[in-house]
Homo-oligomer: A and B are copies of this chain.
Amino acid sequence: MKFALFGSMFPDRSAKAEEQIYGVCDAIKRHGGQLYLPENFYISLPGNIRQLLDPICELAETLPDVDMVVSVGGDGTFLRTAATVGDTGIPILGINTGRLGFLAAINYSDVEDTLSEVMRGDYKVQDRTLLKMTTDEVFPPNHFNTNALNEIAILKQDTASMLSIHAYINNDYLTSYQADGLVISTPTGSTAYSLSIGGSILSPTTPSIILSAIAPHNLTSRSLVVDDSSIISLKIESRSHMFLVSVDGQSRVLDETVSIQVRKADYTLRVVKRVGHTFFETLRDKLMWGADVRKQNK
């Protein structure tokens, strides 16, 4: 079985994370896997780790034709891995090197068990919807990813003025948000930025998209969940005539004459899940749903 491993390239990557990256590589090899590493990621690693890796992996400039991609890091690393994997259909296994993530949902301590299960085919693959952004402006290729696993956000570029965001669903006028921004999220992204601004949590396989305003001026503004076959069109007005569009956290300045369309991407991302482990488990752990604040005060 062939694996490609992608790791965190954040400048603040810890030495412990680097050791765990090697640990995962070593485990893959020991379980009989064949391992590829992206060249630029390999180069980013310190010399001692590279020496350990040399005998057990091959380098690749582009994503090789593997059976599974392993992402080692946080959810941010997983998002970048997903952008590289794109529409190839190769399933991704997310291992976290720090705290449990929603995407990097497998703890380092479970790597051995997980690889045993993977090697004997004892795992599930879950399809995750992505959002695709299109505009009437041509984006230079290779410079701006327009597919989002988490969310596409419209944000004000400057701080002084708010945005007016005129929103249409399937060409029906929805509303004009007066706000600092608008977040359009997949079920996968519903536990990320969307949650910070009051959005509901969407179970990962719900065929839905959720729209939530950032700091809405209108107090009756509420998150809206629509069918994921919907086409969302946005026209933006800004005192500075500019706004930002952010795709999974990567942002770009656009002119307000550019209108935005958001819809479901043509492909899904395939996420590797261990059998018997549910989304709700991750949710309870991450949101500390077991803990009760008010109880003690009564």
Of the listed stretches A14-22, A265-273, A285-293, name the one at the interface; the rest are far from the partner chain.
A285-293
Check if A138 is an interface residue, CB within 8 A of chain B.
Answer: no
* A90 contacts the other chain (CB 8 A): no
Q: Does A295 sit within 8 A of B, measured CB to CB?
A: yes
Q: Is A258 an interface residue (CB 8 A)?
A: no
From residue A248, how far is it (CB to closest CB) to chain B in Å? 9
Within 8 A of B (CB), among A155-208: 155, 159-160, 162, 169, 172-176, 178-180, 190-193, 195-203, 205-208
Asked whether any CB of chain B lies closer than 8 Å to the CB of A43, the reply is: no
Of A61-69, A107-115, A215-223, the stretch lying at the interface with chain B is A215-223
Given contacts A172-B280, A215-B214, contact A296 B75 (CB under 8 A): yes
**CB pair A102 B297 closer than 8 Å:** yes
Structural contact, B200 and A226, CB atoms closer than 8 A: no
How many copies of this kind of chain does the complex include? 4
Residue A224 at the chain B interface, CB threshold 8 Å? yes
CB distance from A192 to the nearest CB of B (A): 4
A274 → chain B, closest Cβ, in Å? 14
Give A223 Cβ to nearest chain B Cβ, in Å.
Answer: 4
At the interface, yes or no: A227 with Cβ under 8 Å from chain B?
yes
Q: Which residue of B lies closest to A183 (CB)?
A: B215
Interface status of A298 (Cβ within 8 A of chain B): yes
Total residues of chain A contacting the partner, CB 8 A: 81
A250 touches B (CB below 8 Å): yes
Q: Is A91 positioned at the interface, with any CB of B under 8 Å from its CB?
A: no
Q: Report the bound CA distance from A284 to B98 in whole Å.
A: 22
**A100 proximal to B (CB < 8 A):** yes
Question: With A and B bound together, what is the CA distance between A206 and B202 in angstroms?
Answer: 12
- Interface presence of A225 (CB below 8 A): yes
Contact (Cβ within 8 A) A175 B225: no
Contacts of A288 in B (CB 8 A): 218, 220, 288, 291, 293
In Å, the complex CA distance between A249 and B158 comes to 11
Residue-wise, chain A 238-258 has the 8 Å CB interface mask toward B (1 for contact) of 000000101001110000000
Decide if A278 touches B178 in the complex (CB within 8 Å). Answer: no
7 more contacts with CB within 8 A, not counting A198-B198, A219-B287, are A159-B244, A174-B280, A175-B289, A178-B294, A200-B223, A221-B289, A288-B288
